[in-house]
Amino acid sequence: MAPDYKTLLLAIGLSGMCLAATLFASWLSARVERFLLSWAVGIGFIVLAVAAYGLYVERPDPVLGCLYFALQFAGFAFIYGAAYRFRTASPGRHRIAFVFLLCMAPSAPFLLMGLSGIAFIVFNLLVAVLLALTACEYWKGREEAPLPLTGIFLLYMLTAASFLLCAGMLVKARAWVLAGAPNNWAEDLNLVMAIIGITGIGAMSLALNQWRIAGSNRRAAMTDALTGLLNRRALFDRYGEDPVGPYAAVIAFDLDNFKAVNDRHGHAAGDAVLRVFARVLMENMPTAAIAARLGGEEFALVLDRTPPDRAAHAAESIRIAFAAEPIVVSGIALTCTVSAGVAHAGNEPLSFDALLAVADKALYASKQEGRNRVSASREMRRTA
């Protein structure tokens, strides 16, 4: 084996070990993104495969060759499984096992029969397919982060192309039986591409994982944990103090006699009522409306470019749907209602905070008039 070839193999092994250790440490720090663990295991198998290949180059024994094939296929199967898990959040264990067995079955027998050239052709083709499938998983999920995921897709496809090139060189030379390991310029290029792929994909994927964690933390800070709706901070961050769009409407909701539910049936029952109302709100609100829990039993719905009568109709539909919704807690059936206040901006430049305050005044009127009703602000009644 030429010194340069040994150096390339050593470089792949060292870069793979560093990446596997980094991925494993990243997974240990959170233990949430399980695809990192699958990927670390896959890279670990690749490192072992490089070591086995180094031994095979020195002594081309069919058993060593089969071990190399098995370690490589296991590594790429886990890497494919990591990509699948990254996109779908599903474990994909059966996929990993199926892919590994599907690759070993048509390749290893040729080595044992002495047809090493054919074995390496099949091996290179199967690895290329596995890498292309891995690339497709990232391509399917590219909407999450278009730039880094497109880069990862391209690196996987380029690495797959280098394996195809290795297979093509053996076919062109009609090398059905080899005296040792394949040795041509395509193999050297493949090793270089492997180093670039491990380094580039590793760097981009770790950055992408940090971006995903930051995004998850950001969403958690903006989401009400109990109902899954936006929280007050998220709603005000979205609209700020700038004027809302023309003809926007805000509906303020407040569950009737909610404190009595907590006092009589406990906070678990109160939480169940809040979750049910959040679901009813999401199921009955107009398309593209923004729903949020402001705190306690208070909710808000923001509608862009909505006529006053349509905003009032939306509030009434939600009120009726919630009153008719059966809520059973610990075998006890609860009947709950909600009051609402509707405010409409018209064509006046009005801040979201001011419009919400107008909706709160209308909500207070609903409470004063007996609850379980929808009231429109006076300004809205004059423009309706």
Q: pLDDT by residue for the chain (384 residues), tens digit each?
A: 444 667 777 777 777 788 777 777 777 766 666 777 888 888 889 989 989 998 898 889 999 999 999 999 999 999 999 889 888 888 888 999 999 999 999 999 999 999 999 999 999 999 999 999 999 999 998 887 888 889 889 999 999 999 999 999 999 999 999 988 888 889 888 888 888 887 777 777 777 777 777 766 777 778 898 999 999 988 888 887 777 777 889 999 999 999 998 888 888 899 999 999 999 999 999 988 999 999 999 999 999 888 889 999 999 999 999 999 888 877 788 889 999 999 998 777 778 888 999 999 999 999 999 999 999 985 544 444
The sign one gets for the Cα dihedral 17, 134, 200, 214 is: negative
Check if the beta carbon of residue 131 is closer than 8 Å to that of residue 159.
yes
Check if the beta carbon of residue 36 is closer than 8 Å to that of residue 82.
yes
pLDDT value, residue 383: 44
Distance CA 148, CA 210 (A): 12
| Structural domains in the chain plus CATH codes | 3-222 (1.20.1070), 230-383 (3.30.70.270)
The three-state secondary structure class of 347 is coil
pLDDT value, residue 4: 65
The three-state secondary structure class of 76 is helix
pLDDT value, residue 2: 46
pLDDT value, residue 244: 78
Check if the beta carbon of residue 249 is closer than 8 Å to that of residue 201.
no
How would you list the strands of the sheet with 230-231, edge to edge?
A: 230-231, 290-295, 298-303, 249-255, 338-344, 374-376
Q: What is the pTM of this model?
A: 0.65
Residue among 161, 138, 159, 162 nearest 150 (CA): 138
Check if the beta carbon of residue 89 is closer than 8 Å to that of residue 105.
no
